Amino acid sequence: MTTLANGILILDFGSQYTQLIARRVRESHVYCEIHHPFSADEIRRRAPKGLILSGGPNSVYDEGAPQLDPAVVELDVPILGVCYGMYLVALAGGGAVEASGEREYGRAELQVQDGTGLFAGFAPGERIPVWMSHGDRVTRLPEGFSL
């Protein structure tokens, strides 16, 4: 088993863009590994500097859809949830997610709120182009979380 004390662990929930996410992380000279969803204990053993949870083709309410160990959000590790990954984090943290009634695909912008943690090196307010692909929406953030 490898520890990731200075690296990022990417949990793949079926996104067609997981390899692209990893490439972008590596282009920033940061080591990362892609794995299937791990338990919180396994993540703790690997000791990553941060987690990225990929998107995926499912709704969080689909039968048989990949799930996130709820204890993951209790780890002292910054988490970036991308589309499906964000919905899993919201649910695991006690937030609320609903089906939006329609799927959305296309370019979007992520606006950095705080240039720390996973966003160290980015200026607050900086906008980063991203790709969205989802059919759910967060209707209530978990306490202490930011979107």
Tell me the per-residue pLDDT of 109-139, one tens digit each, with 9 for 90 and over: 888 888 877 778 889 999 988 877 778 989 9
Inside any domain, residue 1:
no
pTM: 0.84
CATH assignment of the domain containing 57: 3.40.50.880
At 139, phi and psi to the nearest 5? -105, -15
At 102, phi and psi to the nearest 5? -150, 155
Inside any domain, residue 82:
yes
What's the structural domain count of the chain? Answer: 1
Inside any domain, residue 147:
no
Q: How far apart are CA 95 and CA 68, in angstroms?
A: 14
Inside any domain, residue 99:
yes
Inside any domain, residue 130:
yes
**Quick one: how far is CA 61 from the chain centroid?**
17
Residue type, 128: I
Q: How far apart are CA 117 and CA 64, in angstroms?
A: 32
Inside any domain, residue 70:
yes
Written as tens digits, the pLDDT of the chain (147 aa) is 566 778 999 999 999 889 999 999 999 899 999 999 989 999 999 999 999 999 998 999 999 999 999 999 999 999 999 889 999 999 999 999 998 888 877 788 888 888 877 778 889 999 988 877 778 989 999 998 876
Give the residue numbers spanning the domain of 43. Answer: 8-140
